[in-house]
Structure 1
Amino acid sequence: MDALTDNILLNGTNTIAAKPLLLKAGKLTMQYQNGNLRYIKAADVEVIRMIYAAVRDENWGTVEPVVLAENIIQKDTSFSINLKVEYKALPIHYVADYAITGLECGKIIFDMKGTCVTPFRKNRIGFCILHPLATCEGKTCEITHADGNTVKYHFPKLVSPAQPFLNVAGMEWTPANNITAILKFSGDIFETEDQRNWTDASYKTYCTPLALPYPVWVSPGDVFKQQIELTVTGDFTDIDIDKTKHFIQINKNKKYLLPEIGVAAGPALDQLTNEELSLLKNLRFKHYRIDVKVGSTGWREKLISQAQEAVLLQLPLFIALHVNLQFAIEDIDALYNDVKSAGAEVNQVLLFQTGRKTTDNELLHRILPVIRERFPLVNIGAGTDAYFAELNRQPVYAKNIDFVNFSINPQVHAFDNPSLIETLDAQTAVLAKAKTLFPGKHISVSPVTLKPRFNPNAAADSSVICDTDDTIDARQGSLFVAGWTLGSIAALAKGGAQNITFYETYGAKGFFASLNQAEQEVAPFMPGYQFPMLLMFKLLSQFSGKVHCKEVVNDNPLDLSALVLCADNNKELIVLANHTDEVLSIGIKSDKSYSVKQLTAELLKQDNWFYEWNNQSISTTAATKNIVSVDLEPMAVAILAN
């Protein structure tokens, strides 16, 4: 365990991210990091979530930027930044110079001049602006079109399948009373999409309309020039950027039912020790998701093996059945007989259509009677194995099914820690929209993974990702992801999900590390090492009967997540997760005393941290003036019981 440094335990990697630089332009405050401006605020009102430039390849992959040179001049109420950035992922090679200026009058100017070094096909090169939900949702936005005309629209409340704003040359809106924000664009035509479709918690204004053909070939020497100008005016107070304490308040009168949580099949379980099998059993998941791709090589052998694994884990099967319109009834009979022979119970069948993003009504019309005849007591669903965007744009015909499904991963557009935490708010939002699309139907979120499993929008024949590196995130075994998982459970419970599939059983995409050498090269954890997220599911397994989550009002969800669990027997736990690499001082509005235990990087250095956790000494914190105070260690997860 000596090889696991603090940073690996916190973030899954030894690479230490640079701290964001706090800047001011007049009374505006913001953070600068790696060529991007984030969290631009007027007093405590977030005006812009992020301004950045993106290079997207022909399959909508994002090319990671590398800063080659950077010069920053920072003053008390102004700044200037000049940087050179390289985007290189063969065949793409593009280099850009940026100038970012913050003026005392509250204006920010962001210039780009970039040159293509190699020929390549691109879907996008240029600026993107993220608009925060809290200060934009439902509000009027006056759009200046390319011809100079202005029209008033609204930021959508429910997740919009189509772009709410097109042909944009300028925008004006009021993030709060007495505060006006104005954006001006040059160098391309912009438009705005609702990024909640991919669980990004923002609206995104981006360059080059999607109605134009893409991908587009670019040649060496091609130059891209763009400028964004942001002006914020109004009556707001200059405030201190730093905040020393975070507060949460528990609404005892509002509860959400905890969804039924299952796990997906991963590597074959025959590699596990009896102790590891026992560990998985004791997590008391509600289902075991397996993907059955009828007609693929070895599909029946894989089905039989995974059905036997479900029996071994004492879990009912959640069968994700991938078929096409030409399915054979004999194959469905084979599926039924193989599951029956294995002695496996089935509680859900989820129908996906091979080659389509969502399940087509014609397939449902043909196959539903066949499935119901063989599995008469089983819930049957349909939807998409990809993002909510696909379901929002092509809703399934849900009249004759029991539930509708979509998957979630937080890394469709961005990959850094703050961006992953931002997605948690959007998880609740997509469920709200799903309920309006499919009234009265249960909503399933299956699976939740850290990275995309495939690319449903690939231009080339590469919709399925097979490379191990592409689907593994080294943070799976970190405290950061334990906290993200806590936030995801809280968000999906609040949104009213009926059931969720989280991760795989084990391996680099599961709950503890495997013997797989290729996985260990990506995620540096010893075989058998139990990932910190395991604690979350161990806690959930201790509850019996119906479990509810109390509503939590959290004044800073980007730094902190909270989940309050309560059961019919009055057992209650408060679970907190620090999403930052600094100690957070947290105040809980309560008049009770609580016992407190924290899972920290220091504890994870123990050879058997889970055993040490169970035997850890418990501290007690009492309320002072109806506030319970907890100092939460970096990335730590804390359990408070009264």
Structure 2
Amino acid sequence: MMTHRPDSLIYFGTAEPAPADRTFSAGALSLHLSDGAVRHLCWHGVEVVRGIACPIRDENWATHASLLADESITNGPDGFEIRQVRLVADGALRINLVFKGGSDGTFLATAEMFADREFITNRAGFTLLHPLRDVAGTPLNVIHPDGAVTASQFPLLISPDQVAGDISGLRHSVNEIDTEILFRGEVFEMEDQRNWSDASFKTYCRPLSRPRPYRLNAGEIQRQEIQVRVQGTPSRAFPAAQPSPILELKPGTETLPRLAVAMEDGAIPDRPLHRLCRLLNPSILQLRVTPQTAQAICESAKLLMAGNPAEIELEVVVPSTENPPAALAHIAADCKSASLAVARVLALPESYLHSYQSSGPWPAGPTPQDHAKYVRVSFPGAGIGGGVLTYFPELNRCRPDLCDYVTHGSTAITHAADDSSVMESLEGLIHVFTSGRALAGERDYRLGLVAIGMRSNPYGAGVVENLPQTRIAMAGADPRQRSLFAAAWAVGAVAATEGHHVSSLALSAFVGPFGVIHTPQTWAQPLYQEGGTDMVYPLFHVVRFLARMGGAARLSLQNLGNEIVGVAARENSCTRLVLANLGTCASPVRLPQEAEIRILNADSFASAIRGPDWLEVSDAHRGSDVTLEPLSVAFLTMPTAG
């Protein structure tokens, strides 16, 4: 992604410099190195490995930071060697990394981990990421420690369980590039990391069947090795750059998802902010409630809906100490008292906010299906939801039966929080929505909160606190929420729903860590906390524009430029488009006709965050060409022909 620059607060919401990204090559072999991790290992320009890293997880699956203590690099005519010493947890663990690449198509990664003192971890060791392009759905041979070979494949739809186990090696092809990967020092297994919207399959150690967390004793040394061998030439050539073609808008069979805004305890907007909330004008208010919080949330929703009617969608968490039928009857009474007509309800036991393997063990007590029956009694006439209030892995492992719609949420930072990984999660979302649509079948497919940050942590005690506002995996408050990055990412998330008939989704809350309206928080918010009242984040304008488009006939966008994503919809009198540049270079787009254009970028950032009505009052220009700088968003309106 973009390197550090003085205006990084505008682009990323944080002054933290992004890790340096360096390129190494030997003949046809090339890779990027960033923050101790190999990325995009390529042969003749074909990505054969998405990444190799040595992450260290704590007992809640959060990733420890590793600090570079020493480095040496050797470059020769036929290869390169990179040596690094990295320190974890104030030196409790020292990792010696060696990466060697050769022009003959060989790559070797070794890691030696030295425990200076007792160290508790859920996972310590190499992970290797396989790309999705030219890999998903293709044959795979798995080599086991005894030398036996099992014929398998990378799944096309997302697997709820491990893809392969007991691994000492893998053989497969990527666009006719024969790829062999050998593992030493530990037994590895593979999971379908698309479950978490990662754009990869992941081969990792240790197997999840082993006890965790586990202990590395003081003085203990562990050594692991990964060897990659590639050969061949790609069957599909990469096209040379062509002049930007004219954007085509083609009608399809879908409507654009309707926009919801999430509300829950701790993220209820104060009355002085209601004017800004109403400007968003969402189609749906998505209320997450418990018996204890329902009254306050319902009353706030009632006030917000004055003059701005919206459907009410309930996400109910029933504590284990409560009687489910009584708890749901209590919440139904709170809704009635606030004069809220509830359109849809998903109710889950609190224990189902945690993650379980498909094989279990599953929590004792009432199940989600039991709660669905109770919902039908307390909310007659409402649509009954099936699914989860967390993420796709939990839905994939606990698939609902009798329900009217299927739902789940999404976070982009379960495993990694660097800018490149977060943007790559949009590729993963396409696979999530494909599998989610297949799982939903003929039922409505509705999404909960789809955001960068982690709303809740099904895999540990809680989300990671992020007072420094840096890029941290599993953080509840991600600094990019306040930046151009989140605005562009959200356009990509909605673009990823194309072809999957998603009825609705939430991209934000009103306020709080997932909000689009600035309010004081326990963490610093530079550029906002000094700016006065009525300030909004760039994402506010994306949500507002998309809310106008929700439910309209969706148009498919053809001939978009490199790294450009977009969403378009046709109404009676006009066609609306929103385009975003997810890349690192400026990219032109040629429009099919003249349009009214507003661009949200670094130049317009200051006026946009101080102007909730920026989409109406900012200067627009008319034209049939638009150039998008990195992480900028263009809002376009053009008359509908005929």
Give the alignment's TM-score, normalised by structure 2.
0.87
Helix, strand or coil for the counterpart of 1:211? coil
Q: What is the SS of the residue equivalent to 2:133?
A: helix
2:472 corresponds to which residue?
none
- Native 8 Å contact 1:508 1:514 kept in 2: no
Q: Which amino acid aligns with 2:386?
A: A
Once the two structures are overlaid, the 10-residue window that deviates more, 109-118 or 500-509, is: 500-509
Once the two structures are superposed, residues 571-590 of structure 1 have per-residue CA deviations (whole angstroms, 9 ceiling, x without a partner) of 2233222224x4322355x6
Secondary structure of the corresponding residue to residue 264 of structure 1: strand
Give the alignment of 1:202-351 within 5 angstroms.
202-236=200-234, 250=248, 252-265=250-263, 267=266, 269=268, 271-273=270-272, 276-294=273-291, 298-299=292-293, 301-312=295-306, 314-323=309-318, 327=323, 329-351=325-347
> Do the aligned partners of 1:171 and 1:182 also contact (CA within 8 Å) in 2?
yes
Kindly state the Cα deviation for residue 619 of structure 1 after the two structures are TM-superposed: 4.5
Specify which of 474, 479, 482 is matched with residue 477 of structure 1. Answer: 482
Question: SS of the residue aligned with 2:207?
Answer: coil
Which residue matches 1:438?
Answer: 440
Structure 2 stretches lacking a partner, 5+ long: 356-361, 470-474
User: Which deviations, in whole Å up to 9, do the C-alpha atoms of 1:33-68 show, x marking residues without a partner?
Assistant: 111111222334221111111111222111122222
Structure 1 pair 35–243 and aligned structure 2 pair: CA distance change class (3 A): farther
Q: 1:532: how far off?
A: 0.7
- Measured in 2, the distance between the counterparts of 1:362 and 1:570 equals 51
Deviations 1:289-337 (A, max 9, x none): 222223xxx4354345444345446433221112268625443333222
The 5 A counterparts of 1:473-622 are 473-518=478-523, 520=525, 526=531, 528-543=534-549, 546-552=552-558, 556=562, 560-569=563-572, 571-580=574-583, 582-588=584-590, 592-606=593-607, 608-609=610-611, 614-619=616-621, 621-622=623-624
* The 10-residue stretch of structure 1 (604-613 or 448-457) with the greater mean CA deviation from structure 2: 604-613
The answer to whether the 8 A contact 1:101-1:110 is kept is yes
| 1:597–1:640 contact (8 Å) kept in structure 2 | yes
Q: 1:338 to 1:602 in 2, by over 3 A?
A: same
Q: 1:368 to 1:234 in 2, by over 3 A?
A: closer
Residues 405-429 of structure 1 show CA distances to partners (whole Å, capped at 9, x for unaligned) of: 2110001100011101111122222
SS in 1 for 2:496: helix
Summarize the alignment of residues 109-128 of structure 1 with structure 2, pairs less than 5 Å apart.
109-128=108-127
Partner deviation per Cα, 1:54-88 (whole Å, 9 max, x = no partner): 11122211112222222233467632211111121
CA RMSD between the two structures: 3.2
Structure 1 residue 613, shift from structure 2 partner = 5.7
1 CA distance for matches of 2:449 and 2:257? Answer: 13
Q: Name the stretch that deviates more: 437-446 or 126-135.
A: 437-446
Tell me, in whole angstroms, the C-alpha distance in 1 between the residues paired with 2:92 and 2:243.
45
Assess, with a 3 A threshold, how the Cα gap between structure 1 residues 238 and 248 changes in structure 2: closer, same or farther.
Answer: same
1:600 and 1:635 in contact (8 A); partners too: yes
User: Aligned with 1:427: secondary structure?
Assistant: helix
1:625 aligned partner: none
Q: Does 1:46 align with 2:52?
A: no
| Letter in structure 1 aligned against 2:565 | A
Q: Contact 2:143–2:149 (CA<8 Å) still a contact in 1?
A: yes
In 2 relative to 1, CA 147–452 (structure 1 residues): closer, same or farther, beyond 3 Å? same
Task: Give the structure 2 partner of residue 61 of structure 1.
Answer: 62
- Aligned-pair distance for 1:362? 5.3
Query: What stretches of structure 1 of length at least 5 have no aligned partner?
Result: 623-627
Q: Which among 393, 414, 424 is matched to residue 422 of structure 1? A: 424
Q: For 1:473-495, what per-residue CA distance to the aligned partner results, in whole angstroms no more than 9, with x for missing partners?
A: 11101001101111111113443
The amino acid across from 1:15 in the alignment is: E
Instruction: Give the % identical residues.
Output: 25
Kindly provide the amino acid, as one letter, of the partner of residue 39 in structure 1.
H
User: Which residue of 1 is the match for residue 142 of structure 2?
Assistant: 143
- Number of residue equivalences: 615
Q: Map of 1:76-87 to 2, 5 A cutoff?
A: 78-87=79-88
Tell which deviates more after alignment, 335-344 or 220-229: 335-344
* Amino acid aligned to 1:287: I
Taking the aligned partners of 2:25 and 2:312, their CA distance within structure 1 comes to 55
Label 1:464 to 1:70 Cα distance change in 2 as closer, same or farther (>3 A): closer
Q: Given the superposition, is the C-alpha separation of residues 227 and 61 from structure 1 closer, same or farther in structure 2, using an over 3 Å criterion?
A: same
Q: Take 1:427 and 1:524, find their aligned partners in 2: how far apart are those partners?
A: 33
TM-score, normalised with respect to structure 1:
0.87
Find 2:385's aligned residue among 374, 381, 387. 381
Distance of aligned partners of 1:330 and 1:199 in 2 relative to their CA distance in 1, 3 Å threshold: same
Q: Is the 8 A contact 1:603 1:609 kept in 2?
A: no
On the 8 A contact 1:429/1:495 being kept in 2, the answer is no
Choose 434-443 or 235-244, whichever is displaced more: 235-244
- Is this contact kept in 1: 2:565–2:581, CA < 8 A? no
Worse-matched range after superposition: 545-554 or 432-441: 545-554
CA 1:493–1:544 in 2, change beyond 3 Å: closer, same or farther? closer
Using a 3 Å threshold, how does the CA distance of structure 1 residues 479 and 184 change in structure 2: closer, same or farther?
Answer: same
Q: Match for 1:211: what amino acid?
A: S
